Amino acid sequence: MGLENNSGKLTFVNIKEGKLYIKPKDSEVQFFDALSGVITKVEFANETYEGNVFERAKITILDGEDKYLLQIRTDSGYFRGFCNSLRMGNPTERFRCAPSYKKEEGKNPQTTFFVQQNGQTLKHYSTMEHPEDVPPVTKVKFKGKDVWDGTEQIDYWKNWLLSIKFEHEAIAGGNGIQAYKAGERKDNIPEANDITEPIDDLPF
């Protein structure tokens, strides 16, 4: 079952350092580990924060009577990982997803999403060794410095998501949004420290 006392309402779900979080009205921020349900709609929107414009994917997920809006920056490893994993399953069927954040001293954070379907953690459709038809992230010059540009890759995943026809209006309730105590996870979604392959979370 989803969050209590949330029937018919849309709950906004964001991501911070490998955790899903919500901010109920007149309440404290609440953190969770995973979200499950069925995607009913995908949209993209530009937003501004502290003068910087960025784009977010807005993914509506239905779990019984509970409806969530998962918001992911498209220029992030979270977005690429979410799409890259979901493509190996059936994006129109029920799934469970969990963000992951791994930070090593002196290195940029590695972020991704683990996606489960039918009890199995989905692998990536595109990897460094086998990129399939996904455009690579390229190095370009910006103000005299080398930076990574993932525009073509982001557009690829956006177009893939928008090509899917999501038709679900109602499904049976499930686990909704979930939180677990450290060491007591009740699923087999990997933890951040279980990441053994490069995630290709490049700064752009």
**Each residue of 32-74: pLDDT tens digit?**
999 999 999 999 999 988 888 999 999 999 998 899 999 999 9
Query: 70 is in which domain, residue-wise?
Result: 10-182
State the helix-helix crossing angle for 151-162 and 77-86, rounded to 10 degrees: 40
Task: Tell me what percent of the residues of the chain surpass a pLDDT of 90.
Answer: 59
Is residue 76 within 8 Å of residue 150, measured between CB atoms?
A: no
**In a domain? residue 193:** no
Q: Which residue bears the tokens 């918001």?
A: 71
**pTM of the full structure:** 0.81
- How many domains, in total, are found in the chain? 1
- Amino acid found at 181: K
Spacing of C-alpha 125 from chain mean position? 15
**In a domain? residue 141:** yes
**In a domain? residue 201:** no
**In a domain? residue 1:** no
- Amino acid found at 75: D
Q: What is d(CA 72, CA 78) in angstroms, rounded to the nearest whole number?
A: 7
pLDDT band at 105 (very low <50, low <70, confident <90, very high): confident
**In a domain? residue 167:** yes
